[in-house]
Chain A
Amino acid sequence: MKSRKAELLVGVFVLLAIAAGLMLALKVANQTMSGKGETYVLKAKFDNIGGLKVRSAVKVGGVTVGRVDSITLSSNDFTPIVSMSIAKKYDKFPETSSVSILTSGLLGEQYIGLQPGFSMDGIKDLADGDFVEDTKSALVLEDLIGQFLFSKK
């Protein structure tokens, strides 16, 4: 009788812990995006990536569609290349799309904003491994302040 109740409550306890683990995995650490086969890769060259990091979000109009996979430096012209994995279900971005590095809030996280371009006949969709040509670099606060002081003189 008594041990039945204890076993039941231990079961409930384990279920609670599993629920907590699932919540941390799915809602907090977001494991779903890293799965294989559900994503494709887009690349972009920036002059300056500012504070962008691996696993930073890629957003379209505020909706996260992917993450930054890796950030490398191109060996011939020394510009950073960012490769992003984008969810397969968003695979219809036209070639004319542009990406820019944005900041949430004044000092918040940096993320990549993807701006879908116009699409018309003769313009293909971006496919796995393609480069997004139209990029806007991160706003670097020091540069901005420098420009501001310089133009004052």
Chain B
Amino acid sequence: MLDWIAGIGAANIAKVRSFGRATLMLFGAVIAKPQLVKNVPLTIKQIYVVGVQSLLIIVVSGLFIGMVMALQGYTILVGYGAEGSLGPMVALSLLRELGPVVTALLFAGRAGSALTAEIGLMKATEQLSSLEMMAIDPLRRIIAPRLWAGMISMPMLTLIFSAVGILGGHLVGVDWLGVDSGSYWSIMQSTVEWNKDVMNGIIKSLVFAFVIVWIATYKGYDSVPTSEGISKATTQTVVLSSLAVLGLDFVLTALMFGIE
């Protein structure tokens, strides 16, 4: 019994300590004096890795999700003769929820896991130690550009996802099911508000990006440097960041749209 309680205590202490280490890592990477001249090319390279290479999956998913939503929405709305509201339905769901959330989940799976594995392997092959012995701080050199690249890429991916989704909805709703194109756009325009809908979606995606890249880089940096340790860390990144995204989404939605 005592052992059991001690076990719970130890597990929690380990969690708190690990959170402390993650925070220290973040500060070491971000607060450290910025070396813009050196870091900009590194960050651009990382935007290529986490952003550009995620583009295809984001565009394809956005297109299909927009198309499916138009199909489902149409069958429901047409029953009330309100198929004209298809535009705002598709646009609002994408901008407020699906855009940021689905992009974040795909990003966690596509880019987050790759980040963890990459940094874990760098640790296992002594590349991080080697940097340290060369008097180069791996937090600044390796972690910081990846953090920034993720924070920059995610909102852009989210914008692209939502835009493609709205076009996909147009493709199915207007071109296929025959909703009037004018009303698809004009009712959407009269409903969607820039600040409330688009900006809030971007803010969400920034928060998600921060959480995902933080988890991903920390899990790699803190991984046990063996093949088993890295595979475990990669799985943890995907699971933990997906859960964090969904949980945070609820909190953010409640804050942004819940109470008028």
Contacts and interface: CB of A to CB of B under 8 A. Distances in A.
Instruction: Tell me which of A20, A57, A64, A111 has the highest count of chain B C-beta atoms within 10 A of its own C-beta.
Output: A20
A129 interface: no
The binding surface of chain B is classed by DSSP as: helix
B81 A107 contact: yes
A67 B190 contact: yes
Contacts of A13: 47-48, 51-52, 55, 153, 156
A115 to B, nearest CB: 18
Interface string A86-114: 00000000000000000011111101000
Contacts of B193: 29, 55
Nearest to B188: A28
Contacts of B88: 109
Given A20-B163, A29-B197, A10 B82 contact: no
Interface string A1-28: 0010011011011101101110111011
Contacts of B80: 105-107
B194 interface: yes
Interface string B182-224: 1101111111111001100000000000000000000000000
Interface string A72-89: 000000000000000000
A20 B189 contact: no
Contacts of A16: 55, 156, 160
A31 interface: yes
Nearest to A19: B163
Interface string A40-70: 0000000000000001110000101001000
B198 A10 contact: no
Nearest to B51: A13
16 contacts: A6-B44, A10-B44, A13-B51, A13-B153, A25-B194, A28-B95, A29-B192, A30-B190, A30-B192, A57-B187, A105-B80, A105-B82, A105-B83, A106-B81, A108-B84, A108-B85
Interface of A: 3, 6-7, 9-10, 12-14, 16-17, 19-21, 23-25, 27-31, 55-57, 62, 64, 67, 104-109, 111
